[in-house]
Amino acid sequence: MRIGAVIRNCDGLVVAALSKPFADVFSAELGEYLALRESLVLAKNLGPSGVLMKLMLLLRWLVWLSMLVVLMQRC
């Protein structure tokens, strides 16, 4: 599976993009999580504003929490 992400600025212009292969991805949910995680890493490396960084940290926590819920439902 390959994941992709695009980061846009406030005007909607593409600032950065990525495409990355991942092995052993068995669900769409995991693929979405990996794409979000990789885009957050890319945005962090680009040096976004403090407000945007706080939003990304909140999103990361929410994604982690949702993945935990999915894993708990499978047990």
Is the full-model pTM beyond 0.75? no
Given pLDDT bands bounded at 50, 70 and 90, which one contains residue 51? very low
Residue 12, pLDDT score: 80
Tokens 């040096």 locate to: 47
At CA 29, angle to CA 25 and CA 33, rounded to 5?
85
Tell me the domain boundaries of the chain. Answer: 2-74
* Digit-coded pLDDT (tens) for 4-42: 888 777 788 888 888 988 888 777 777 788 887 887 788
Decide if 38 contacts 18 (C-beta within 8 A).
Answer: yes
